[in-house]
């Protein structure tokens, strides 16, 4: 299954719920999200996603760190 987020939600819980749909019942999936660096809410969510990725030991892509610095 694939989930594509054209517009990011403002809350991280909503984002996590959306991407969680890719891995239901032990299945694998892919989530792709478009982030607009001109949108303050997108950059704020990028900062929160970095925290989550670091907490679970995932690799944080450099482009995400750059977006979070806007």
What average pLDDT does range 14-22 have in this prediction?
79
Q: pTM here?
A: 0.73
| Helices and strands: H and E segment counts in the chain | 3, 2
| Percent of the residues in the chain that have a pLDDT greater than 70, as a whole number | 96
What phi and psi, each to the nearest 5 degrees, are found at residue 3? Answer: -120, 130
- 12 within 8 A of 48, measured Cβ to Cβ: yes
Q: Cα–Cα distance between 17 and 7 in angstroms, integer?
A: 14
Residue 42, token pair as written in the block: 């997108």
What distance in Å separates the CA atoms of residue 44 and residue 12, rounded to the nearest whole number?
10
């Amino acid at each position: 299954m694939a989930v594509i987020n054209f517009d990011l939600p403002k809350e991280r819980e909503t984002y996590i719920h959306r991407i969680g749909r890719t891995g239901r019942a032990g299945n694998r999936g892919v989530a792709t999200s478009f982030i607009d660096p001109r949108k303050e809410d997108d950059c704020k969510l990028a900062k929160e996603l970095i925290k989550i990725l670091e907490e679970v030991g995932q690799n944080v892509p450099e482009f995400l760190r750059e977006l979070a610095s806007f």
